[in-house]
Amino acid sequence: MKRPIKKTVYKILNKEEYARKNDCYLIMRVVQELEPELAGRTFTNVMQNINFMGISFEGITRARRKFFEDYPELKVEKVEKARREKEQEYYLEYMRR
């Protein structure tokens, strides 16, 4: 079953600024939009059934990255700065070894 993940992610990211900052919140909102009956279940139940519903966490995060490529002006600077610092720290540690 093919799901409109990209369209749903774009809609949520356009409307909700917090979803641009928090991947877990974005994933939760996508699940609520696509499978509302899953949203009220326990975390374990959701995780066990999510793949059978045609929803992929990787697909959601891929759509988020594509969204920010298409709309770089909507990136949250604080989050982007933290990501860059973490990436730089990783490279410095890699170079030391």
pLDDT, tens digit, 9 for 90 and up, residues 69-95: 998 888 777 666 777 788 888 888 888
* pLDDT tens profile 10-21: 999 999 989 998
* Count of structural domains within the chain: 1
**pLDDT for the residue numbered 15:** 93
Burial pattern 34-44, b for ≥16 Cβ within 10 A else e, equals: bbeeeeeeeee
Do the beta carbons of residue 26 and residue 12 sit within 8 Å?
A: yes
* pLDDT tens profile 41-60: 888 888 888 878 888 889 99
State which residues form the domain around 45: 5-96
Do the beta carbons of residue 8 and residue 34 sit within 8 Å?
A: yes
Which of the 8 DSSP states describes residue 54?
T
